[in-house]
Amino acid sequence: YRAIASIARGENENEKLPANEFIMGTGSIWGIFYSLPTIVYAFCCHVNVFSIFTALHRPTIRRMNRVAYGACTIAVLLYLVLACAGLSEYGRDLQEDILSNLGHRTVVTGMIQLLMAVNIGLCFPMNVYPSRFTIEMLLFSESKPSAFRGNLISALFVLLAALIAITLPKITTVFSIIGSTSAVLVSFVLPAAFYVHINTGSVIHLTKEPLASTLLIGSVIFGVFATLSSIISTLYPHLIEAR
């Protein structure tokens, strides 16, 4: 809101980007492979599909597709508005986390950062539960339910998340690595592999299922390159900015 309001008032003291750089960007090929996994991760919400499907009034595949298309469309519009507003407001000074640009200069920006922290805190249990449930089903499927075991697994997740947050310098590094590994795997590799295997009996079959097999191979290649790019860009951050 602050970025859009300042644009409307013409209050922009930062160095503006030329039109060609605003559209095409100023980074390198490393920056592209570093950024694309974050975009993939931004649309990776598969863990909520089943709960949303069962919550529909008359759950059908067609109605669920409408929900998915509508949600993705709204997300794209919000992402574009935020990205364009941030670039127009801060230009070359725009940081990976736009909250860093806002700072703590006013009560409003402080409240924005506080609400973001609350939002992340409330979303954390929604991500921990499916992970804990999956581990319990994989390792303790034959055991009786145990509150102690569940709390211990949740505590380990919280501890691991805290260690990662303290160790890694930027949250975008986490988003990029998750996007290039688990998000690519869940969004492209596994669906394509399942589809090809159901129809042909093999994981890859370029003759009977060329499109799905090509998607599978391309996703694996992209995931490998994107993961390497994320690691290299973390170790050598100047590569992202090099033209």
pLDDT at 44 over 60: yes
DSSP character string of 124-164: HHHHHHHHHHHHHHHHSTTSPP-HHHHHHHHHHHHHHHHHH
pLDDT at 73 over 50: yes
Note the pLDDT of residue 183. Answer: 84
Note the pLDDT of residue 9. Answer: 47
| Choice among 86-100, 114-128, 145-159, 187-201 with the minimum mean pLDDT | 86-100
Model pLDDT for residues 77-118, shown as the tens digit of each residue: 888 887 777 777 776 677 767 667 666 667 777 787 788 778
- In which band, very low, low, confident or very high, does the pLDDT at 28 lie, cut at 50, 70 and 90? low
- In which band, very low, low, confident or very high, does the pLDDT at 35 lie, cut at 50, 70 and 90? confident
C-alpha gyration radius of the chain: 21
Rounded to whole angstroms, the Cα distance separating 207 from 228 reads 31
Q: How many residues does the chain have?
A: 243
Model pLDDT for residues 165-187, shown as the tens digit of each residue: 788 767 777 888 888 888 888 88
What average pLDDT is seen over the chain? 77
Rounded to whole angstroms, the Cα distance separating 34 from 29 reads 9
H or E stretch including 120?
Answer: helix 107-139
Note the pLDDT of residue 14. Answer: 53
| Percentage of the chain modeled with pLDDT above 90 | 3
Rounded to whole angstroms, the Cα distance separating 20 from 87 reads 13
Furthest C-alpha separation in the chain: 64
Note the pLDDT of residue 217. Answer: 92
pLDDT at 205 over 70: yes
| Percentage of the chain modeled with pLDDT above 70 | 78
